[in-house]
Amino acid sequence: MKLSGKCFLVTQIIASLLVGCTADIDIVFIIDGSGSIRDANPPNRAFDNWNLLLQFVANIIDRLPRSGTRVGAVVFSDRGQTIFTLDRYIDNLESARNAILNTAYPGANTNTSGGLWVARSQVFSVNTGDRPAVPNLAIVITDGKSTFDNDRTIPYAQDLQRDGVQMISIGITNSVDENELRGLSSPPQIRDRNYFSSPDFTTLGNIIEDLLATACATPAPPTTISKLPIFFSLYMFVNVCPLYVLFCPVLLVFAWLRCCPCLKSLHLIYFILCSCTHFNKQLKCQFWNDSEH
């Protein structure tokens, strides 16, 4: 069974739209560096919580696709501070991993809002390597409640989400405020999907699989979706279904205003129906012809 050229093209387009996980992603880790992390170290110094936290981040990086992934990092204590931006280690996740493991421990307060502000203003920026057409993900890791400018924490998280950044939050120890942890995460704000908890630093590895499943499903930013109607419309106008153009103005308005969450599905459904009608009537798609022999 052999697909004709146009049938194959449609198949490829549909497959690319239905894929649930993309190799291309921009991820920024927003890491708590407050004093309480090492304050909770065991008296016998059997392990160091800060090192365990950095190793956890490094283990996540180890599981990311080596091509198409950019990583940035921010640490927060009294203030937020950029460790490295998304353009620092392009196509070199091993160096990004090493930079994480060598991050100095700042100590002091838990200025979560400061970390969020730095991530938004300095890291998720086209000037520092953020790619507008690639999904953005922020992973916030903290061991307690915000103790500095805490009234800004949730609003700053919401600002990032309005920018199209998906957010996952991770709380360590029972000192974490679950309401704040939930508020840091993206909707639907489900535990063990959008936000996670670990009883201590030694058990962080237990959440990696579920965390990666959520990270893998991070959607593309709205700017990418808004371009889909243009692509479909041009293809339809030139090759497939002139009637599609009649629906274009309305759909394009919804696309640019970004007020129709089902826009992508609407275009896809119409595209499939129109394509199948056209190919079946005009070209008698080779797929069906071959199946008859």
Q: Cα separation of 133 and 253, whole Å? A: 20
Q: Which of 15-24, 81-90, 131-140 has the lowest mean pLDDT?
A: 15-24
pLDDT for residue 2:
39
Q: Please give the pLDDT value at position 243.
A: 53
Q: What is the mean pLDDT of residues 146-172?
A: 96
Mean pLDDT (the chain, rounded): 79
pLDDT at 248: 52
pLDDT of residue 196: 97
pLDDT of 235 over the 90 cut: no
Specify the pLDDT at position 182. Answer: 98
49 pLDDT more than 80:
yes
Residue 158 has pLDDT above 50, yes or no: yes
* Choice between 30 and 17, residue whose per-residue pLDDT is larger: 30
- Do 75 and 165 have their domain in common? yes
The better pLDDT of the pair 89, 225 is held by 89
Q: Which residues span the domain enclosing 286? A: 5-18+222-292
DSSP per position, 228-252: HHHHHHHHHHHHS-TTHHHHHHHHH
Q: For residues 130 and 264, state if they share a domain.
A: no
* Same domain as 167, residue 70: yes
Check pLDDT > 50 for residue 117: yes
Please, which pLDDT band fits residue 215 given cuts at 50, 70 and 90? confident
More confident call, 242 vs 162? 162
Last residue of a domain, one of 216, 249, 266: 216
205 and 85 in one domain?
yes
Which one of 216, 244, 269 terminates a domain? 216
pLDDT at position 66:
86
Contact 84, 96 (CB under 8 A): yes
> Would you say residue 191 has pLDDT above 80?
yes
Percent of the chain with pLDDT over 70: 67
Last residue of a domain, one of 182, 216, 250: 216
- Asked if residue 40 has pLDDT above 80, the reply is yes
Mean pLDDT, range 75-93, rounded to an integer: 96
Segment 245-264 mean pLDDT: 45
Residues 88 and 174 in one domain: yes
Is the domain of 157 the same as that of 244?
Answer: no
Same domain, 12 and 36: no
**Do 127 and 62 lie in a common domain?**
yes
| Same domain, yes or no: 267 and 282 | yes
Q: What CATH code is carried by the domain that includes residue 29? A: 3.40.50.410
pLDDT (0 to 100) of residue 250: 52
| CA-to-CA separations, 290 to 2, 3, 7, 131, 285, in angstroms, rounded | 7, 9, 13, 43, 9
pLDDT at 241: 53
What is the structure's pLDDT at 218? 77
What is the number of structural domains in the chain?
Answer: 2
Residue 58 sits in the same domain as residue 133 = yes
In this prediction, residue 288 carries a pLDDT of 40
Q: What is the pLDDT of residue 129?
A: 97
Share of residues in the chain with pLDDT > 90 (%)? 62
* pLDDT score recorded for residue 217: 79
